[in-house]
Amino acid sequence: MIVLSGTIGAGKTSLTTMLAEHLGSNAYYESVDDNPILPLFYDDPKRYGFLLQNYFLNKRLESIKEAQTSPLNVIDRSIYEDRLLFQLNADLGRATQIEASTYSDLLNNMMEQVDTSSDAQTKDPDLLIHISVSFETMLERIKRRGRDFEQIENDPSLYEYYKELTERYTKWFEAYDRSPKLQIDGDKYDFVEDEAAAQAVLKQVDDALAELNLKA
């Protein structure tokens, strides 16, 4: 599996689509636009945060199981990022520390149940691709895509949340050690709007896969 990571607005969904088409594999997407809990969470994070994280956990486990079935399938977010996101919510008082601890234990236990009986199956990525973007770029892209519940104008407290999230993602990627990893400079390579940038990013991925002896 190839798994994408990155903060809100980094371009994970777009790059997932590009990679799956480029590699002739399948893409698996985070449930956002069809997620009935996400708007409720933005309205009342303390009430719906734990429910949202368990919703995502269930969906991501489904994606991992399906992605195991053929080579180089692409998932648009790592399951391990959810721990970071929910812990941040707890640290900011948007969830309780008990909820964060319970969720972390549940994530560990559920991942233990993922079937890896086949030599071709793994619960961890063969390659994690992290799209790194600056705080300013993240804010611009959040504004550009226009989801009402994500806009700072509608909830000024999101500014500090987004800022802290950017800083924690940097530390998370530096510490990540569950698989080989590749970092894409999302400020330098606007692969969504610029075809030359898209081709440059695809070449970086191809080179990383070749180094790992991974083929579609």
Distance of CA 1 to the CA centre of its chain: 14
Say whether 133 sits in a helix, a strand or coil.
coil
In the residue annotation, 177 being an active-site residue is answered as: no
Asked whether residue 1 carries a pLDDT value surpassing 70, the answer given is yes
Q: For the chain, what is the radius of gyration of the CA atoms?
A: 17
To the question of whether residue 8 is assigned a binding role by annotation, the answer is yes
To the question of whether residue 49 is assigned a binding role by annotation, the answer is no
Enumerate the domain spans of the chain. Answer: 2-211
To the question of whether residue 145 is assigned a binding role by annotation, the answer is yes
CATH classification (class only), 2-211: alpha beta
> In the predicted model, what is the mean pLDDT of the chain?
90
Q: What digits encode the pLDDT tens for the residues 154-186?
A: 888 889 889 999 999 999 999 999 999 999 999
To the question of whether residue 82 is assigned a binding role by annotation, the answer is yes
66-78 burial, b for 16+ CB within 10 Å, e for fewer? ebbeebbbbbbbb
Which residue is catalytic, options 33, 43, 44, 76? Answer: 76
